[in-house]
């Protein structure tokens, strides 16, 4: 019988995958610098950039730096909760949405926290009032950090801890 061996690429990919945070197709995360404690996001491997729902977007300049004030409704189907945000503008880019429409969007850089891990990502600002999710987490923000299991949701949710998490079928570990 012929013995099969893994290629070096497969071995390194497996090792790298075991270090990635496993998440579901939708997750809760926080945007601490924007004052957003929890927002439900769609983990969207089809989207290159990440997008945050924003309205009343007001750019301004102060001390030769460009900033933006905006408001968000962090919860789906709830317009009564409004959070006012302020961020430095990193860029303005043309983005093509899933419907093929081109839109010029402000880009900000801000840290996110998900599953006890924090890292900085770029977010484009757009009005997502009619969309199911207030935020999309795109491939660029995920790269070398997370791996998506599209069959499950909320793997990184902080409520999935303690004794309950060990019995729950959605609480999985990557690797061993």
For the question of whether the overall pTM of this predicted structure is more than 0.85, the answer is no
Among candidates 175, 160, 55, which has minimal Cα distance to 105?
Answer: 55
In a domain, 170, yes or no: no
Distance, in Å, from the CA atom of 113 to the CA atom of 57, rounded to the nearest integer, reads: 24
In a domain, 140, yes or no: yes
CATH number for the domain including 79?
2.40.70.10
Distance, in Å, from the CA atom of 117 to the CA atom of 119, rounded to the nearest integer, reads: 7
Q: Between the CA of residue 36 and those of 11, 32, 56, 119, 154, what are the distances in Å?
A: 39, 6, 17, 15, 18
In a domain, 83, yes or no: yes
Q: Which two tokens stand for residue 161?
A: 């801890």
User: In residues, how long is the chain?
Assistant: 176
Provide the pLDDT confidence category of residue 28 given band limits of 50, 70 and 90. Answer: very high
In a domain, 172, yes or no: no
Percentage of the chain lying above the pLDDT 90 cut: 65
pLDDT digits (tens, 9 = 90+) for 3-26: 555 545 555 554 477 789 999 999
pLDDT digits (tens, 9 = 90+) for 76-114: 888 899 999 999 999 999 998 777 889 999 999 999 999
| Domain coverage including residue 123 | 22-164
pLDDT digits (tens, 9 = 90+) for 130-146: 788 999 999 999 999 99
Structural domains in the chain (count)? 1
pLDDT at residue 13, as a whole number = 56
Distance, in Å, from the CA atom of 148 to the CA atom of 165, rounded to the nearest integer, reads: 19
């Amino acid at each position: 019988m012929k013995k099969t061996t893994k290629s070096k690429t497969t071995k390194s990919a497996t090792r790298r995958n075991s270090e990635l945070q496993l998440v579901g197709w939708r997750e809760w995360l926080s945007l601490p610098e924007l004052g957003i404690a929890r927002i439900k996001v769609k983990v969207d491997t089809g989207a290159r950039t990440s997008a945050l729902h924003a309205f009343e977007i007001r750019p301004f300049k102060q001390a030769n730096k460009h900033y933006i004030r905006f408001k968000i409704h962090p919860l789906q189907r709830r317009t009564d909760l409004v959070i006012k945000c302020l961020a430095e503008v990193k860029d303005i880019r043309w983005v093509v949405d899933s419907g093929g429409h081109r839109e010029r969007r402000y880009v900000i850089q801000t840290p996110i926290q998900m599953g006890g891990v924090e890292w900085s990502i770029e977010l484009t600002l757009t009005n997502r009032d009619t969309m199911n999710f207030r935020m999309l987490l795109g491939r660029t923000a995920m790269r070398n950090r997370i791996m998506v299991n599209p069959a499950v949701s909320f793997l990184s949710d902080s409520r999935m801890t303690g004794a309950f998490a060990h019995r729950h079928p959605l609480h999985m570990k990557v690797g061993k």
